[in-house]
Homo-oligomer: A and B are copies of this chain.
Amino acid sequence: MTGLGGAHAAFREWMPAMQALTEEALDRFLPPSSAVPAALHTAMRYAAMDGGKRVRPLLVFAAGALFDADRDSLMRAAAAVEMIHAYSLVHDDLPCMDNDSVRRGKPTLHVKYDEATAMLVGDALQAQAFGILAEGESDPLCRLELVQLLARASGSTGMCGGQAIDLASVGLTLSLTELEQMHRLKTGALLTASVLLGARCGKALSGAERAGLQAYAAAIGLAFQVVDDVLDATADSATLGKTAGKDAVANKPTYVTILGLEESRRLAQQLRSDAEKAIAPFGDKAQRLRDIAELIVQRKA
């Protein structure tokens, strides 16, 4: 992970520690590769483990720190949001969707295995995510709320809904507002859920706490997408670990095509500032969330 010039030393230690904890959580909460059917479980691990920046788990852990959430609950939440993210990538990469062959610097799942396996891996990862949230020892009402939050964020009025809007928008001229609505569902909903899940592992949220965290998450969610569009237009595939320039090839509307490069970069900084304001009331305990906002805007891949 690069591009965190201004970050505190503590964050530079915290981030890889939380990424390692995410890996540990995925290893614990995914069935072992040897379990029947071994081929499916091996492929599920290929999809979910050893890759990615783990932005969603980082948000879970950072938001959990606000209210001193316990480690087991956070590990479950981190693994669950990452399983949902991983399943969406596997399905998104299929030929009937984005038809991508490289992801996180590795062959995409349907290239490594086959399309049918990719379909089943995604389906099984989703079921696993809900299962591990419902299990555990934490307060039953908390666990139920986590399942509800994740279901809403990943379903037809969240991530899947955003993907449907994205599909329908190829070749169309979107306004900035329409583009934002699409991204708010497609990527924003799961990022927001990651923040809320982490915080909810600590305690039931007040209306004001929830509103502040949602505003933070909405801002970094859009910033994440703006930076994605900038990187897709400016970086090379080797740096990204996935195919660069594919938005232009697919004739997809992006922040760069609508606003241009410079205005897009300015918007990302503005969104980072909005995010920091939203979590100001949480004081020092929100430092990791501030660090993540900076990471998202400064990242180079």
Q: Which residues of A does B touch, CB under 8 Å? A: 31, 35-37, 39-41, 44, 87-88, 91, 94, 96-97, 114-117, 119-120, 122-124, 126-128, 130-131, 133-135, 140-141, 143-144, 147-148, 150-152, 154-158, 160-161, 163-165, 167-168
Contacts and interface: CB of A to CB of B under 8 A. Distances in A.
Cβ-closest 4 pairs across A and B: A131-B151, A127-B155, A96-B115, A124-B156
A119 B91 contact: yes
Given A91-B123, A123-B160, A126-B126, 13 more contacts: A35-B156, A39-B164, A41-B156, A96-B115, A96-B119, A97-B119, A119-B119, A120-B164, A123-B123, A131-B148, A134-B134, A134-B147, A134-B151
Contact of A156 (B40, B147, B151): B40
A155 B133 CA distance: 14
A147 B140 CA distance: 12
A110 B156 CA distance: 17
Contacts of A88: 123
Given A122-B123, A134-B151, A140-B141, A160 B96 contact: no
Contact of A116 (B97, B114, B128): B97
Contact of A135 (B148, B163, B165): B148
Contacts of A167: 116-117, 120
B127 A126 contact: yes
A127 B156 contact: yes
- Secondary structure dominating the interface of A: helix
29 contacts: A36-B157, A37-B161, A40-B156, A40-B161, A40-B164, A41-B156, A44-B156, A87-B123, A88-B123, A91-B119, A96-B115, A96-B116, A97-B119, A117-B164, A117-B167, A120-B163, A120-B167, A126-B126, A126-B127, A127-B158, A128-B156, A131-B147, A131-B152, A133-B147, A134-B134, A134-B144, A140-B144, A143-B144, A147-B147
Contacts of A36: 157, 161, 165
A174 B283 CA distance: 63
Nearest to A98: B116
A31 B157 contact: yes
A124 B165 contact: no
A72 to B, nearest CB: 16
A132 to B, nearest CB: 8
A151 B151 CA distance: 13
B151 A127 contact: yes
Nearest to A132: B151
Contacts of A31: 156-157
A26 to B, nearest CB: 14
Contacts of A135: 148
